[in-house]
């Protein structure tokens, strides 16, 4: 049995193959890091309870339009769209037009999904990191293999 890791070691960079399965596991929190700028953008991808599709949210920033008035959101999560899945594979990301976040945030998520699905992902342009929690159930990961795969041992068996 592997030795549990300290909390600081829990974030891990994901390969393209692992990242695609992590995104569609059900409760993923991943960060996209641009190699050019070094900036991180963090997304939460959560499966809808009654649908095979996923809600996509961005941490921090953005605003929500209610009755024609934009209300700024300075922290927390802002829903930026829906990731549609067919036969277990993402096939389309549709932005939420009532949510206003910078276009780099929306386009970055769309680009990441397109690269992963088309199997053209390259770590030379960007990196994908997960937050040290199982992308299926949300529990904290401590085993090195679980951290590498972004799924705990119980969820890997499901």
Measure Cα distances from 10 to 13, 141, 150 in Å.
10, 7, 10
- Low-confidence winner among 96-100, 109-113, 137-141 (lowest mean pLDDT): 96-100
Specify the pLDDT at position 72.
Answer: 52
**pLDDT at 6 > cutoff 50:** no
**pLDDT at 65 > cutoff 90:** no
Q: What is the pTM of this model?
A: 0.82
CA 16 vs. chain centroid, Å, equals 12
* pLDDT digits 0-9 by tens, 43-64: 999 999 989 999 999 886 555 5
Tokens for 120, please give them.
């053209």
Q: Which of 14, 16, 30 is nearest to 119 (CA)?
A: 16
Higher-confidence residue of 57 and 11: namely 57
Q: What percent of the chain has pLDDT over 70?
A: 80
């Amino acid at each position: 049995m592997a030795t549990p890791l300290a909390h600081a070691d829990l974030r891990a960079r994901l390969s393209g193959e692992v990242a695609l399965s992590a995104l569609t596991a059900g409760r993923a929190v991943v960060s996209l890091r641009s190699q050019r700028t070094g900036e991180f953008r963090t997304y939460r991808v959560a499966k809808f309870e009654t649908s095979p599709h996923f809600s996509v949210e961005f941490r921090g920033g953005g605003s929500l339009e209610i009755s024609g008035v934009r209300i700024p959101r300075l922290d927390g999560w802002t829903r930026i769209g829906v990731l549609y899945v067919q036969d277990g594979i993402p096939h389309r990301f549709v932005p939420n037009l009532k949510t206003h976040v910078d276009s780099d945030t929306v386009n970055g998520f769309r680009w990441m999904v397109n690269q992963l699905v088309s199997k053209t992902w390259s770590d030379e342009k960007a990196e994908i990191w997960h937050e040290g929690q199982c992308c299926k159930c949300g529990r904290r990961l401590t085993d090195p293999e679980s951290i590498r795969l972004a799924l705990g041992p119980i969820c890997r068996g499901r």
